[in-house]
Structure 1
């Protein structure tokens, strides 16, 4: 009895397992076809590794640029000093950061002693003029009676000498008065040019000697970028070229190459390139003393452009993954050129025919299957990011952009190299 029951249970289990296997085969092959017939019909075997968006390489232009870095400095800095000696500084009319015009009063010295000296010099001039007038009158009378014998020749010569001496004292008195008036003008410190006050060392109440620095002035508010460029790149830079200067704060300002230094630093082997920056409020907040990087715009080139996210670096080489028929990806080795923002130029390896995996290509290997969704085309004009790389090849870069998302069922085995 027990043996009969065991046999019945075994038969039932066999029937259940067989039926389950048959149902699984039916679900795996629709319409009741066998796996072999499905393979013969050309259906791809296996599940897609990723769901990706694809993008086609496009033709476009990218600026050829040369990167450099350096300090921002004043174009010219003027030192405003005291021309009066031993006077007390009574008033300051400008401070650091003020925009001043040429001839504007920056500071005033106490002029009491100088005014007194001017009055004294004027009085001395009047005295000298009076003495000169008397001597001139005496000399004229002596000349008028020279032939009568009333005066000796010696006396006549004395009158003539006195006339000339008093005339000379008048000239000396006038010069002394002019000097005192000049000192009186020095009590007002004037701006030598229009510009921005960059420093102030003057203090109200101080008695300063002549030549003491009171202010420093950035002439006309003009700044320049002093870019350090290695010797082999100097031949590519010309006066008048456009430059994009970027500060550490991200501010981008357009400048123009003014000149290139004739010599190189013997220690660094670099030369300074002087780039004029806009003055006033158009300089994007740049200040003298800032450190900035920049790009010299050397020209433009045309070529195939792809998104940088479509490029994968492996073993020191760059690759893209083209999507062929039935979702199969083909790994292609490429040679890259210049970059601009999100775009990169491909010099070799892309022909624009097959769509490329936009991002997530790092999870793929040659021959993997993917599920494709189409991405909107992106051109070089849509990449708003500034040029970020020096052009080292005779081509330009541009790209399209697209996002790739891993499929939820993507097996982990596809991430390992084959």
Structure 2
């Protein structure tokens, strides 16, 4: 046989063998795709229900902490050298305490001279009064004219006036001597010091500035529309720099409203606290009474697109995203002012992983 016929015979044998194998093998149907099962839960969640609570009504405000009153303590003498400064910034002082001293040698010398002038005037007065008495005694005898008698009486009166003037000079020098000691006009805390040892201060120069009695106040800015809610004596919670809260009292409402901002100042007395300083910025809340509010756990709140939402679970296990309005936050709960009914079942935690219409599995 030729080579091409041998090749054709081999191919025919292979095809026959393959057909026999296929004929002996059992036929198998193609396995169908698994049937689509029910929608699987997107998340396992726990349920929370809104709760009605009595919450304090609060009016938030911002403002500055300032001194209740400041006292400017200055020099009352002129041209004297400051010889001693006894206090510094931050020192607590009592009323009448000596804060600084001026050199008093010149004033003491002036006081001694004034006293000498007083003694001289008193001696002249004694002589003038004696002459006037003798003149009056001789008036009946006619030894002296009426004009001479009147002159002696006038001299006695003039001497009396000179004694009064000398006495006033002594009092003036004593007052100057007392001014050489700078004293605190009231109890308080020294907040500023310009006094320098060796300086020659003119009268009226400020040496110290003092917070009277150490009292501070919070000057809160409140919108004019909110002033009607505030009353003198009302409670206020003010946050300090260390995140502590102090309780103050409304002392006064400003009688005028700023024409530019339409805000008014409310003056709140503050208690002493180490975290409070004059000049600092502070936030606070005016307590306006209590009201009934609907609250939910803070963890249930979800913020999307700048708005607050809650996920409400329906009877079929699907969630609906509810846009809500919130109020104040207290002790891990948030007040819901609109957008939620009292009997709703909401997702307590994990709402950030859900979308509107998702299926969830609820567990206790």
Q: Note closer, same or farther for the CA distance 1:6–1:119 as it changes in structure 2 (3 Å cut).
A: farther
Tell me the equivalent position of 1:286.
276
Kindly report which structure 2 residues correspond to 1:10-409, keeping only aligned pairs within 5 A, or say none.
11=26, 14=28, 45-278=38-271, 282-312=272-302, 319-324=309-314, 328-331=317-320, 333=322, 335-341=324-330, 342-348=332-338, 350-353=340-343, 355-374=345-364
Q: d(CA) in 2 for partners of 1:46 and 1:237? A: 56
Number of residue pairs aligned between Structure 1 and Structure 2 = 347
Aligned-partner SS, 1:283: coil
Q: How far off its partner does 1:357 sit?
A: 0.7
Q: How far off its partner does 1:345 sit?
A: 2.3
Where do 5+ consecutive residues of structure 2 fail to align? Answer: 1-16
Aligned-partner SS, 2:173: helix
Tell me the TM-score normalized by structure 1: 0.76
Q: How far off its partner does 1:125 sit?
A: 0.6
Q: d(CA) in 2 for partners of 1:316 and 1:89? A: 64
Contact 1:332 1:349 in 2 (8 A): no
Contact 1:309 1:358 in 2 (8 A): yes
Q: How far off its partner does 1:348 sit?
A: 4.9
Q: d(CA) in 2 for partners of 1:81 and 1:319? A: 62
What's the CA shift string for 1:243-263, capped at 9, x where partnerless?
122245423222112222222
Q: d(CA) in 1 for partners of 2:357 and 2:205? A: 80
Stretch deviating more after TM superposition (253-262 or 192-201): 253-262
Q: d(CA) in 2 for partners of 1:114 and 1:96? A: 29
Q: Note closer, same or farther for the CA distance 1:284–1:355 as it changes in structure 2 (3 Å cut).
A: farther
Q: Note closer, same or farther for the CA distance 1:298–1:151 as it changes in structure 2 (3 Å cut).
A: same
Contact 1:323 1:356 in 2 (8 A): yes
Q: How far off its partner does 1:46 sit?
A: 3.1
Larger Rg: 2
Q: How far off its partner does 1:359 sit?
A: 2.0
What's the CA shift string for 1:289-312, capped at 9, x where partnerless?
111122121222112210233234
Aligned-partner SS, 1:204: coil
Q: d(CA) in 2 for partners of 1:335 and 1:72? A: 36
CA RMSD of aligned residues (A): 2.6
Aligned-partner SS, 2:320: strand
Stretch deviating more after TM superposition (148-157 or 348-357): 348-357
Q: d(CA) in 2 for partners of 1:120 and 1:314? A: 88
Q: How far off its partner does 1:111 sit?
A: 0.3
Contact 2:241 2:275 in 1 (8 A): no
